Chains A and B, each alone.
Chain A
Amino acid sequence: MGIYEVLAQSRQATDAFFVQYNSMGRPILDVLHNIFEGAFNILLAVAFALSLAYIIMSISVLLQHWHT
């Protein structure tokens, strides 16, 4: 078997993989992507709320410190 035949076969296998990936794997990955992105946004919102609480506390304490 020549090198060109090996390359052609591997290319066929790769094409077949991507056909399967597009028809079956990608929809699953899209669902997973939406789940992770949603979880990320929820965590970001909670982290932002907590972060804001610390900023408010810090500014309040700082203002009191300057005031006194």
Chain B
Amino acid sequence: MHFENYQTEDFFDEMFEAPGKVRPHYAKLAERFARLSDEEFDQKRQAVDLSFLRAGVTFTVYSDNQGTERIMPFDLIPRIIPASEWDYIERGLKQRMEALNLFLHDIYHDQKILKDGIIPPSYVLSSKDFRREMMGVDVPKNLYIHICGTDLIRDADGQYLVLEDNGRCPSGVSYVLENRAAMRRAFPNMFPRAGVRPVEHYAEDLLKMLKYISPTQEREPTVVVLTPGVYNSAYFEHCFLARQMGVEIVEGRDLVVRDSKVYMRTTKGLKQVDVIYRRINDDFLDPSVFNADSVLGVPGIYNAVRAGTIGLANAIGTGVADDKVMYYFVPRMIKYYLNQDPILPNVETYLPSEKEDYDYVIENMEKLVVKAANEAGGYGMLLGPWATKEEIETFRAAVKENPRNYIAQNPISLSRHPTYCNELGFEGRHIDFRPYIICGEKISITPGGLTRVALRKGSLVVNSSQGGGAKDSWVLYGEE
């Protein structure tokens, strides 16, 4: 396997400074791959795919009524981050998480940041994920976002930028662990010498945090994972985490609320639950308060939250911090609450609801990336430079109709990474990065994360639902 014909073109390439010139932290890897024949590489690739399928590391695609289980395409070349870069990312993310949690506590209590005019109140109050029901409700340890998967990208200069904060129910962490396990099986000899930091303690950290937010500390808290059920596309992950933590995985119908306490229905009767790691969105969580049609949720969970008898991760109402318009204000939050400058910058963003930005966005739509404020998974997005005339016009009309619901950004030329592309051999493909953050007694970030790669040539969309794959992500102890 070699990279002789590999071209970096005009992009920031993670592995090559220039064609033929490997960055120091990739040197050992390049050496190992150079000794690998095409056949060996192929064998390893197939072995890894088969092991994912057998272990059931799959997500479900509902293109037909059968619900096909697919594995996420996995690329064998890992993405590598040296210690100094990781240190920078870690500091930046911690700062951001601290500010976001302070922000959420503030807007559900005194709303000082609004009164002080740092953020126009209308933006917060008009967000469809702002939950009035949470006003004045205290949550354990004043923490709202306990589990976060922030999406980072790198621009043409290699600068890390925050693309979005996923503070609701970020998924994908099981892939981080399964991808690492697969890499260890495929390259057992490479790891001891490569100086890669382990990610395997994620579940332990998660459980520790969940116990920390238990309202009762007198007895060993009962922790559960709440899943929408076996037909959810991330069901594998819910089970995976429950199993790794050794806690029950429950569905809504397993829980009942009595006297503002949550119980699960067991073979021996009702048993009180202290902490719920929920993987159900606010809308579906409690049909007595939110979407009344939800059959996935548990009537009364909100009452238990208000009564302070249950720890809920993440808290109800964190979606307001996920709103893409709020993203625009995160640097101001950092300044306001922490009196610091943001360590990790945002992508430059325009708010069409502001007069001066509105004209620019409407006139330059074909140059911009436009996103709906509340969508996830790569949906509700316009990539101006690559879009058809009709698509641009549709978005222009939509933005004029409801400017509050959109943001616009300058397109970022995402960094690229050598990726195996079947008969084409290795080619550069665009990637992003999602590290996983746990906020409990302290903020810990698992050294690694999910590197998603857009497998189609030139594509910038890395979502697995739209043809994206994944790579193992290595954080090194040292610089090379």
Please determine whether chains A and B interact with each other in the same assembly: no
